[in-house]
Amino acid sequence: MNMSTFARRRAAVLEKMRAQGGGVAIIPTAPEVMRNADADYPYRHDSYFYYLSGFPEPEATLVLIAGERDQSILFCREKNEEREIWDGYRYGPAGAKEQFGFDAAFSIGNIDSELPMLMANAPALFYALGSSARLDAQVQGWLNAVRAQVRAGVTAPSAAYDVRTILNEMRLVKDDEELAIMRRAADIAADAHARAMRCARPGLREYHLEAELLHEFRRNGSQFPAYGSIVATGANACVLHYRAGDAELRDGDLVLIDAGCELDSYASDITRTFPVSGRFSGPQKTLYEIVLAAQQAAIEATGPGRRFTDGHDAALAVLAQGMLDTGLLDRDKAGTLDDVIANGSYRQFYMHRTGHWLGMDVHDVGDYRDPAVSATEKPWRTLVPGMVLTIEPGIYVRPAPGVPEDFWNIGIRIEDDAVVTAGGCEIITRNAPKTVAEIEAVMRG
Ligand code: GLY
Ligand code: MN
Ligand code: MN
């Protein structure tokens, strides 16, 4: 990503802060987290911090000042020859200022003395209110340090705003650089799903397919999976948050894989469901075609000017009709399509929503309701070009009295990532095989 992009984003935040009367924004990156003993979790920066800085190191905080003039200030670790021998390169304040284009940079060790000076006489603070006990405590300490100077004529900020309100709106609409990365993250994940399909056969275990996914992610430069990969065979597919385990793939069962990679801080999120043997059985195919048709209906309802929920409503109508047609729902008890939707009886087989925003976080930030409307019950968000969302209908059939046994334990989800465009939407995960014919062809080799 171009350094000028981060600078442009900082300028945009400063302008929005100024529109609210100006002040000081404080945006720390994520802490390092230990896993056990001396082993830490792989480090992942905070998405807000990185969105505005591009700075990859832990122990860093960005401060933006909309005051007499705009300033972007980074607090980061000092250079340290000893630690750099053990842990690797550190930019240090001088290097960070130079390389990342901040107006100033200081040692993170000096933040408690510097910040009260930067906050003095500022009308307001902008930070992620209540997001972390540590940050709340730090802000309290800095505020009290400013208040201690009142007799010297200094005033302390008297208002606090959640800086995420500004940042969430910005992050919701992706620019061309972000979309280019997201297309590549989608391509890598699509290839990983195709690879898992080609490798699947009876006798393997779920973790074997997970290994194929990870192999494809990493060999293409993805830094991490975007979330814990779901590889669920047989009845496990009906457990929505199942993770890849050690269940054996059995002839006649399906495998549901929900996996995406993170590339350069951006997530992809794909689900495919396919038969272990390479051929769908009759009942599997019947339900699969319903989910696929539901997804197609949702894709057609996704475009500029449409509401966020139009895709869900379109998918739901197809799914619920399918439940009635197949006898999953008993017409005599469940009633008409409108009844099923109104009374929620479809939730026995479809209990999640059809999509979410996608970006730096897999469940990305951004209000789902329109914040510009000042009604108590704000309408769902209207889609505009550059928004990215998943489209992921499914059907999950747990054994239950009255449910046709042919469908028991079948769990199917089909998930793609869509960029809203001027004319509709672009499915950036389209390279992952999806129709029955495509999947069966790929699995035949
Ligand atoms: N993998 C998380 C989701 O599909 O929302
Ligand atoms: Mn998803
Ligand atoms: Mn997913």
Say how many CA atoms lie within 13 Å of 216 toward its Cβ: 25
Report the distance separating Cα 11 and Cα 1, nearest Å.
Answer: 17
Q: Is residue 182 a contact partner of residue 376, using CB atoms and an 8 Å limit?
A: no
Q: Is residue 241 a contact partner of residue 228, using CB atoms and an 8 Å limit?
A: no
The domain ranges of the chain are 3-170, 173-444
Helices marked H in 160-309 — which ranges?
Answer: 163-172, 176-199, 206-219, 282-300
The H-or-E segment that residue 438 falls in is helix 436-444
Angle at 299 between CA 298 and CA 304, to 5 degrees: 105
Tokens of 88: 């690797």
- The 3-state DSSP class for residue 348 equals helix
Phi then psi dihedrals of residue 357, to 5 deg? -65, 150
The H-or-E segment that residue 299 falls in is helix 282-300
Q: Which CATH class is domain 173-444?
A: alpha beta
Report the distance separating Cα 270 and Cα 189, nearest Å.
Answer: 7
**Nearest CA, atom 3, ligand 1:** 269
pLDDT at 259: 98
> Ligand 2 center to residue 326 CA distance, Å?
26
Instruction: Quickly tell me which residue has 């409503």 as its tokens.
Output: 313
pLDDT at 372: 87
Q: What is the pLDDT averaged over residues 176-204?
A: 98
> Which among 128, 140, 32 is positioned nearest to 77, based on CA atoms?
32
Report the distance separating Cα 305 and Cα 205, nearest Å.
Answer: 45
> Ligand 2 center to residue 401 CA distance, Å?
30
49 Cβ contact partners less than 8 Å away, ≥ 6 residues apart: 27, 28, 29, 30, 55, 60, 61, 62
pLDDT tens column, 416-442 = 999 999 999 999 999 999 999 999 999
With the CA atoms of 344, 347, 350 and 353 taken in that order, what torsion angle do they form, in degrees rounded to the nearest 10? 60
Residue from 210, 227, 312 to probe ligand 1 pocket by mutation (most atoms less than 8 Å from CB): 227
Q: Would you name the residues annotated as active-site residues?
A: 38, 241, 258, 269, 352, 356, 363, 392, 396, 413, 415
Report the distance separating Cα 283 and Cα 101, nearest Å.
Answer: 59
Q: What is the pLDDT averaged over residues 179-191?
A: 98
Tokens of 427: 């499915």
Kindly report the average pLDDT of the chain as a whole number: 97
Residue from 239, 242, 269 to probe ligand 1 pocket by mutation (most atoms less than 8 Å from CB): 269
With the CA atoms of 309, 313, 316 and 318 taken in that order, what torsion angle do they form, in degrees rounded to the nearest 10? -130
Angle at 99 between CA 95 and CA 103, to 5 degrees: 85
Ligand 1-lining residues (CB < 6 angstroms)? 227, 258, 269, 356, 362, 392, 415
pLDDT at 137: 97
Tokens of 13: 């935040």
pLDDT tens column, 271-323 = 999 999 999 999 999 999 999 999 999 999 999 999 999 999 999 999 999 99
Quick one: CA dihedral 119, 125, 127, 133, positive or negative?
A: positive
pLDDT tens column, 216-256 = 999 999 999 999 999 999 999 999 999 989 999 999 999 99
**Nearest CA, atom 4, ligand 1:** 269
> Which among 193, 349, 185 is positioned nearest to 271, based on CA atoms?
193
pLDDT tens column, 42-70 = 999 999 999 999 999 999 999 999 999 99
Report the distance separating Cα 258 and Cα 237, nearest Å.
Answer: 10
pLDDT at 51: 98
Among the atoms of ligand 1, which is closest to the Cα of residue 415? 4
Decide which of 3.40.50.300, 3.90.110.10, 3.30.1360.150, 3.40.350.10 is the CATH code for 3-170: 3.40.350.10
> Ligand 2 center to residue 242 CA distance, Å?
14
pLDDT tens column, 376-426 = 889 999 999 999 999 999 999 999 999 999 999 999 999 999 999 999 999
Report the distance separating Cα 226 and Cα 185, nearest Å.
Answer: 10
Instruction: Quickly tell me which residue has 């969302």 as its tokens.
Output: 389
pLDDT tens column, 142-172 = 999 999 998 999 999 999 999 999 999 999 9
The CA–CA distances, whole Å, from 84 to 80, 89, 259, 296, 332 equal 6, 5, 34, 52, 71
DSSP string, 137-156: HHHHHHHHHHHTTGGGT---
Q: What is the pLDDT averaged over residues 83-100?
A: 97
**Position 24 pLDDT exceeds 90:** yes
The CA–CA distances, whole Å, from 102 to 12, 52, 97, 119 equal 15, 11, 5, 18
Which DSSP letter does residue 43 get?
P
Among the atoms of ligand 1, which is closest to the Cα of residue 413? 4
Q: Ligand 2 (ion): which residues have CB within 5 A?
A: 269, 390
pLDDT at 11: 98
Quick one: CA dihedral 375, 380, 384, 387, positive or negative?
A: positive
Which DSSP letter does residue 360 get?
S
Q: What percent of the chain has pLDDT over 90?
A: 96
Q: Is residue 295 a contact partner of residue 319, using CB atoms and an 8 Å limit?
A: no
**Nearest CA, atom 5, ligand 1:** 363
The strand pairing partners of 361, in sequence order, are none
Q: Is residue 267 a contact partner of residue 359, using CB atoms and an 8 Å limit?
A: yes
**Position 375 pLDDT exceeds 90:** no
Say how many CA atoms lie within 13 Å of 273 toward its Cβ: 31
Helices marked H in 301-435 — which ranges?
Answer: 310-326, 331-334, 337-343
